[in-house]
Amino acid sequence: MKNKATLTLSLLASLVLAACGGGGGSNASPTAATSASSPSTASAPAANSPASTPTVTGEQLPSLSSPQAGSTAATGNRVEGIWSVTSSVNKTTAFVDPQNNLSYLSVLGTTVMQEFFGVITPGSSAWTLTSGGLFNLNIYTAATSGSGTFTGNQAFNGSYVEGSNTVNIGWTYDPANALAVTQAMVAGTWAETNSSITISSSGAVSGTLSNCPVSGTMLLATAGSNQNLYTLNVTTGTNTSCQTPNVTLSGSAAIVFLPIQSSSLYQRTILYSLHTSSNSAVAYGQVSPQ
């Protein structure tokens, strides 16, 4: 039997009620349908005693210098896709979808500190914030303005005003944009502690988030493409286990890569960030294949 090594810093899932804030916050920033390439598999070097070192299953990161055919890096509009920045145990991952919805998660260790949801208007190399707001430790405050610049498929920078605070952002284009995907590629069961979702080959979703039953869909953000960005919509149940019963949450999801400890390989996970249209609740998590 093959054993996977421990993944590094998978964030903890949560599905929680949000509260409105009065201006508090933090300054910390934390297509052609071509078949996707199958993931490469590698093993850790064998030790003298086979029992002392488990076999590691994983793959190398996709290459932005040589992106897979049909991927966002190969066919996107240079601003849509996945953006990220990592510093020590802090990581921020952002999504820009084809409708110019911008969202991001800022994580400290395994705990999400901030979530942002907004809409931008991109130009040839600059962007402005049309609307948005920040959940800082689940306290929501509207963003009043924002702008910045981007270098296509390389860097995304700028700032926005949230309450009385100016929040600076600076991200780089994530290697996961070089991965070509299909709708069927996310089919299966993906899970982490207290959360498990099963996705059918057609994109139907069922399972639990933070022990609350959910159902919905996870579909390619650009239908018929091979770009690694999905739209996830779920409606929660009415069970007593649900802190947020009978609400619909929507947002972006994508396959992102987590490093495997004691290895140069990575494992695929699904990272998602959702909110209700009224910003009354948020959900986020990072689930691994089962």
**What integer best gives the mean pLDDT of the chain?**
86
Residue 6 is predicted with a pLDDT of 45
Average pLDDT score over residue span 27-39: 29
**pLDDT exceeds 90 at position 24:** no
**pLDDT exceeds 50 at position 136:** yes
The residue whose two tokens read 């991927």 is: 71
Q: Which of 48-62, 118-132, 168-182, 210-224 has the lowest mean pLDDT?
A: 48-62
Average pLDDT score over residue span 96-123: 95
CB atoms within 10 A of CB 250: 18
Give me the DSSP letters along the chain: ---PPPBS-PPPPEEEE-EE-SS-----------PPPPPP---PPPPSSGGGSPPP--BPPPPSSSPPTTSHHHHS-SSSEEEEEEETTEEEEEEE-TT-EEEEEEEETTEEEEEEEEEEEE-SSEEEEEEEEEEETTEEEEEEEEEEEEETTTEEEEEEEETTEEEEEEEEE-GGGG----SGGG-EEEEETTEEEEE-TT-EEEEEETTEEEEEEEEESSTT---S-EEEEEEE---TT-SSTT-EEEEEEEEEEEEBTTSS-EEEEEEEEEE-TTSSEEEEEEEEE-
For 228-249, how does the pLDDT look when each residue is reduced to its tens digit (9 = 90+)? 999 999 999 999 999 999 999 9
Beta carbons of 155 and 172 less than 8 angstroms apart: yes
Average pLDDT score over residue span 114-122: 97
pTM: 0.86
Residue 14 — very low, low, confident or very high, per pLDDT cuts 50/70/90? confident
Residue 138 — very low, low, confident or very high, per pLDDT cuts 50/70/90? confident
Handedness of CA 95, 182, 272, 257 (dihedral sign): negative
Q: Which of 44-48, 107-111, 178-182 has the lowest mean pLDDT?
A: 44-48
For 46-72, how does the pLDDT look when each residue is reduced to its tens digit (9 = 90+)? 334 445 555 668 999 999 999 999 999
Q: How far apart are CA 274 and CA 231, in angstroms?
A: 10
Residue 9 is predicted with a pLDDT of 54
Burial (CB < 10 A; 0-12, 13-18, 19+), residue 16, is: middle
**pLDDT exceeds 70 at position 81:** yes
Residue 147 is predicted with a pLDDT of 98
CB atoms within 10 A of CB 262: 12
Residue 42 is predicted with a pLDDT of 31
Average pLDDT score over residue span 153-180: 97
Beta carbons of 174 and 84 less than 8 angstroms apart: yes
**pLDDT exceeds 50 at position 3:** no
Residue 54 is predicted with a pLDDT of 57
How distant, in Å, are the alpha carbons of 36, 37, 175, 289 from that of 40?
A: 12, 9, 15, 16
Residue 285 — very low, low, confident or very high, per pLDDT cuts 50/70/90? very high
**pLDDT exceeds 50 at position 32:** no
